[in-house]
Structure 1
Amino acid sequence: MVVVPLLGALSLAACTAAGSDDDPSGPVSIDQDWSEADPITVDVYDGLANYMGIQGGWFGKIVKDKFNMELNIIAPNVAGGGDTLYNTRVSGGELGDLVVVDKGRQMDELVEGGLLLDASDYYGSMTNVSPFDTAVQHLNEGKEGVYGFPTSVSSLKPTESSEGIDPTFGPYLRWDLYADAGYPEIGTLEDLLPILKTMQDAHPQTDDGKPVHAISLFKDWDGNMMVTAKQPATLYGYDEMGFVLAKADGSDYQSIVDPDSQYVRSLKFYFDANQLGLVDPESTTQNYDTMFAKYQAGQVLLSWWPWLGQSAYNTEQNMADGKGFELAPLQDQKVFSYGAEVYGGKQIIGIGSGAEDPARLAAFVDWLYSPEGILASASETQGAAGPEGLTWEKGEDGAPVFTDFGTKAILEGGADVPAEWGGGAYKDGVSALNVSTVLPIDENPDTGYPYSYKYWPSYQETTSNPLTDDWTSHMGDPASTMDYLQQNDQVVVAPGASFTTPTDSSEIEAIRSQVKATIIEHSWKMVFAKDDAEFDALLAQMQSTVDGLGYATVLEFDMANAKAQNDARVAVAKEFG
């Protein structure tokens, strides 16, 4: 493990003035029993949350018991997506008591607008955050204070994948149905279509009569582009930077509206799929939650994310029956992988300047970086193990093992939580923050094993099942999906430089708003075009319209940012190895 110097923490702790909550003229201790404090409700504006309202269930009870605090989650994803809710609340002078927002533009705006608290006086006693002081200092560089705390921090090298056993992206198919089709080789992206057609034709309905579609899409995460049309580009090493697709190794940069771009290729892939009857017709109207339920019900055959298909469908019972999602590699793939972020990920946690009890919120934020907090609050899609004593415990050798309840709740598809832990369904009590403060593959100092249960020996020993056994034997006995990709030179790591995208100027922001709306609208129409001629006409119309709106101006800005990001990746790889 890399030992990070605690420069900021020590310099703050060295101050001799003893401040108070009312007059924080110096360091303020957050080390107290907050469970005895007066109850408060905290508004949490969270750009990653997929739930709106009071956090309930077991996580809500932990927060209540430790801090006598309720979290009122305010989620733009639920309130219609986009920046509308953010802009409305910022204009009103208060975003939230606690915020989870993008670093860069959003954080800069909030600091400049006086909406974030300078937590310098509390930082000196935030002992769980302090090991990541390098990331904290880098995030707040030039801001004359500690206004934000980085997420997804890590002690790993930036050239190492941050993703652990599974990549973030990949072509995941219902492996059992792929096996039924004879494990056909998939040369390239387009070769998926006849295979998916064979699979869907052989299994047009679930066992209970629900329609099966090879592909199901959703709209509520669309940003600069149609989000599900960006995903296939990641199989070839690209990720987005505004309207640019940039390759992880810096070898290529594409405008997404270029007819030869990976983005347009993806739209054509979906169009061809729809012509074959493979795309769920409800894709244009459903949200992520509705689509996720279809994955759970076995109604979808392809997932671009392991944490979608596998988390929804790979229950212990399904896998025991030989059913589930596994990576079915394209022969020409080079899957994009995010390197561990020395300076943290894309989101930050901040305390609102109007918060009524900032010391308590600083204590809560610090707790989120403790082993207990990491395990309880980490994003469920990344192997979050839940709280010790409920879902897992230390075995005789000190290694973590699931409890019977944890096995049912996390591996078998769900369970009701005991009353003393808050009651209700386990999944309903999962942290709505949907953020990982520390990478799940980092080591938990309390156990000596990674936070992610997928690395625990006990989990790996008990998860052998007909599905994974068949995949492993067919793929040459790799230790994991990532191991397979690395062995076959099918992954490319973008070094974790924690690059912060510069804030859009008002001109760029205005143009981008119109352009992205046009791109998204035309993209969806292209997928569901009636024939090739209409697809081509819509593409030409999209290109012409965005050009008229000033697309070139924003593209130049995004292209410069993409290249600056690559420069930062090169530099961080050189500095940290």
Structure 2
Amino acid sequence: MKKNTLKKVLAMALAGMMALSVAACGQSSDTAAPEAASDSAEVKKDKVITLTIWNTEVTTPGIQDNDVARVIEEKLGIKMDIVQGDSQKFSVLVAGGDLPDIIYTNPAQQGVEANALITSGQLIAMDDLIDQYGENIKKNFPSRLDYSKKYVSNGEDKTYFLPVLCYTVDEENPDISYTIENVGLMTRWDVYAAIGYPEIQTTDDYLNVLKQMQDYARENDLAGGKEIYAISGWNDWGLWPWWLANVREMGWQDLSNGAIINKATEEVDLNYHTDAFWESLKFYNKAYNLGILDPEAFTMKNDQFWDKCNNGQVLMAYASWQTDNMNKTMASNGHPEWGFEKIPFSGYPYISGIVSGDAPLGNASDYATAITTNCEYPEKAMQLIDFCNSEEGARLLWSGVEGTHWEMKDGKAQPTESYQKLIKEDASYTTSTGITLYNKLCGFKETQILSDGSPANVLKSNEQKAQNILDIDKEYCEYYSEQRGEEFLYPGMVLNDMWQKEEVDTFTNYILYTSLVQAPSDETLNILAQCDQYMNVQGVKAIMVKDEAEFDAAREEAMTELNAMGFEKAREEILSLYEAAKTDASSFEIK
């Protein structure tokens, strides 16, 4: 890859700051593409070029050779070479000026803020490329471009990042999620059923039920001799397992830079300053003292957590994107009777995403697509990005190849019979074909209804959800059908019925201003990074204390130490930025 001297110097400066997970500061440099980029316009249509792409979800990095990748190569003349890694690898790539051609931003995973990538001179402003090659980008969810220029450009009014995974609600046909959508506590339904469906009202009730479930699972050796714990976790995402799902079920939504918002009151605060955060840690402290929290949770990696869940060693998980896959894996491994489901109870009254809500800016700055100055063929990179923001590209990325994985039938896009058969027989079949692997490049959320009347992911229509239900999901629906006197075709319909009858709550309101927050100062980012490093240790210590008195003391100690680091000063700046964003929201137009 070609690198100019200025970019190299700025990258090294940024890397030094990233040792403390601090975003680099300084005047933005001119980020024009390197000289070799001019050659890309002369690439012949029949010449296949290779683009390197950052993607942490692909388990087989390198040149992609699957059904989806082959269609992209044939249609666009582009081979995708996936670069994968953790925050440490991303830091090394930044330091050396060796970022792949296309990246997405995720500060939590990468340890670097979006603006820092701009100020280090490593990104191309995409405005001219979008004007020439971005017809689909300009047509679909155009508000993203206004947002990117104003809020994710380091004040330059240029398009460095393109938000992805946008969604517009179909009011006449709301999308009812298959279970929950995204993050929430999920429980092994088969074990819960085996102990007689005990009533759960409070979080203490839930913990006691998990203890009963653990005892039953161990007594009956459900994991074939392996140790079973009701709750486990992992340490390579910081404190993520120990607070995020819990605060969402208390009615809070996580935002950037450690902020969370109470979606009922629209009150914003930093997570460490809220009772909700500390109540979440206390939940796991109680679990630890009940003997139902896996001690290896504090040293394991995320993939080890998945392995334990798939092996039947863990009885609670944290998100539907975990359990949807785990349930299929357990079924294909000979245990269709195993599986995780959502057990509603009043102690945690909110359930994430019973129905999909509007997301005109997608994930905003999280996972937003960018082209780096290392890219020798920026025009080809933009052609790929624009294709992924078209309806044709969205259907390919989410549903696979027409005629092989989906087809038009009775006026609707539907999965082929062979595809439905294969995904039931092999839980890894979808990813082995490339389907859903490259979704972070897609402008459309998988449930977005396209112009042909079907969702981008043909498996996500309400009809297909009912048709492709797993055995464990049938048992869940049958139980609640008997309890409630209603017919439920898949688990999400149970939760939707409870929501409609005001027995549980969810959120459908789109709060615009939380996406319009300007980046905080480098001083504040530095403070927050140090606070996070401290809390990654102190939070675990709080979970492992022996009683409530020691927990309260650990909380008090933590807040004293955080304030000594400047936490309160950083908090004041973050809250002021959210207040300013409220004013901006009144004049920001969603197109």
State the TM-score, normalized to the length of structure 2: 0.78
**2:149 aligns to what?**
140
Looking at structure 1, the residues matched to 457 and 59 of structure 2 have their Cα atoms a distance apart, in angstroms, of 23
Looking at structure 2, the residues matched to 324 and 58 of structure 1 have their Cα atoms a distance apart, in angstroms, of 30
Shift of 1:415: 5.9
- 1:154 matched to 2:167: yes
Looking at structure 2, the residues matched to 459 and 412 of structure 1 have their Cα atoms a distance apart, in angstroms, of 17
**2:551 aligns to what?**
535
Looking at structure 1, the residues matched to 334 and 250 of structure 2 have their Cα atoms a distance apart, in angstroms, of 29
1:413-432 Cα deviation digits (max 9, x unpaired): 43669xxxxxxx72787525
**2:8 aligns to what?**
none
Unaligned runs of 5+ in 1: 1-19, 378-383, 418-424
Alpha-carbon RMSD: 3.7
**2:571 aligns to what?**
555
In structure 2, give the amino acid aligned to 1:279.
Answer: L
In structure 1, give the amino acid aligned to 2:404.
Answer: L
- 1:61 matched to 2:61: no
**1:239 aligns to what?**
253
In structure 2, the residue corresponding to 1:128 is in which secondary structure?
A: helix
Shift of 1:269: 0.9
Looking at structure 1, the residues matched to 320 and 233 of structure 2 have their Cα atoms a distance apart, in angstroms, of 15
Shift of 1:441: 1.7
Q: 1:429 to 1:452 in 2, by over 3 A?
A: closer
Looking at structure 1, the residues matched to 289 and 468 of structure 2 have their Cα atoms a distance apart, in angstroms, of 42
Q: Which moved more, 1:91-100 or 1:102-111?
A: 102-111
Shift of 1:179: 1.8
Looking at structure 1, the residues matched to 376 and 344 of structure 2 have their Cα atoms a distance apart, in angstroms, of 52
- 1:366 matched to 2:382: no
**1:9 aligns to what?**
none
Query: Are the aligned partners of 1:449 and 1:456 in contact in 2 as well (CA < 8 Å)?
Result: no
Q: 1:443 to 1:296 in 2, by over 3 A?
A: same
Structure 1 segment 22-421 matched on structure 2, within 5 A: 22=38, 34=45, 36-40=46-50, 42-46=51-55, 53-75=62-84, 78-79=85-86, 81=87, 84-93=88-97, 95-102=99-106, 106-124=113-131, 125-129=133-137, 130-141=139-150, 143-156=156-169, 164-165=177-178, 166-204=180-218, 205-222=221-238, 225-241=239-255, 242-258=257-273, 261-314=275-328, 321-332=336-347, 333-337=349-353, 339-345=357-363, 346-377=366-397, 384-395=398-409, 397-414=410-427
Q: Which moved more, 1:363-372 or 1:261-270?
A: 363-372
Q: 1:427 to 1:57 in 2, by over 3 A?
A: closer
In structure 2, give the amino acid aligned to 1:256.
Answer: N
1:84-110 Cα deviation digits (max 9, x unpaired): 544544444453311111499844333
Query: Are the aligned partners of 1:392 and 1:403 in contact in 2 as well (CA < 8 Å)?
Result: yes
Query: Are the aligned partners of 2:327 and 2:340 in contact in 1 as well (CA < 8 Å)?
Result: yes
Query: Are the aligned partners of 1:169 and 1:234 in contact in 2 as well (CA < 8 Å)?
Result: yes
Shift of 1:536: 3.9
Looking at structure 2, the residues matched to 220 and 162 of structure 1 have their Cα atoms a distance apart, in angstroms, of 33
Unaligned runs of 5+ in 2: 1-35
Q: 1:163 to 1:464 in 2, by over 3 A?
A: closer
In structure 2, give the amino acid aligned to 1:549.
Answer: M
Q: 1:568 to 1:413 in 2, by over 3 A?
A: farther
Shift of 1:279: 1.3
- 1:470 matched to 2:470: no
Shift of 1:149: 1.8
Query: Are the aligned partners of 1:495 and 1:569 in contact in 2 as well (CA < 8 Å)?
Result: no
Shift of 1:196: 0.5
Shift of 1:524: 1.4
Shift of 1:206: 2.4
Q: 1:284 to 1:443 in 2, by over 3 A?
A: same
Q: 1:197 to 1:297 in 2, by over 3 A?
A: same
Of the three residues 482, 507, 513, the one matched with 2:523 is: 507
Query: Are the aligned partners of 1:296 and 1:312 in contact in 2 as well (CA < 8 Å)?
Result: yes
Query: Are the aligned partners of 1:46 and 1:74 in contact in 2 as well (CA < 8 Å)?
Result: yes
**2:12 aligns to what?**
none
Shift of 1:503: 1.9
Q: Which moved more, 1:289-298 or 1:496-505?
A: 496-505
Structure 1 segment 441-480 matched on structure 2, within 5 A: 441-446=447-452, 448-449=454-455, 451-455=457-461, 457-463=463-469, 465=471, 466-473=474-481, 474=483, 476-478=486-488, 480=492
Q: Which moved more, 1:315-324 or 1:439-448?
A: 315-324
Shift of 1:214: 1.1
Q: 1:23 to 1:392 in 2, by over 3 A?
A: closer
Shift of 1:210: 2.4
Shift of 1:144: 4.3
Q: Which moved more, 1:51-60 or 1:213-222?
A: 51-60
Query: Are the aligned partners of 1:175 and 1:325 in contact in 2 as well (CA < 8 Å)?
Result: yes
Query: Are the aligned partners of 2:234 and 2:299 in contact in 1 as well (CA < 8 Å)?
Result: yes
Which is helix-richer, 1 or 2? 2
Q: 1:177 to 1:227 in 2, by over 3 A?
A: closer
Identity value in percent: 21
Query: Are the aligned partners of 2:241 and 2:318 in contact in 1 as well (CA < 8 Å)?
Result: no
Shift of 1:521: 0.7
Query: Are the aligned partners of 1:239 and 1:336 in contact in 2 as well (CA < 8 Å)?
Result: no
May I ask how many residue pairs the two structures share in their alignment? Answer: 526
Shift of 1:150: 1.6
State the TM-score, normalized to the length of structure 1: 0.79
Shift of 1:451: 2.9
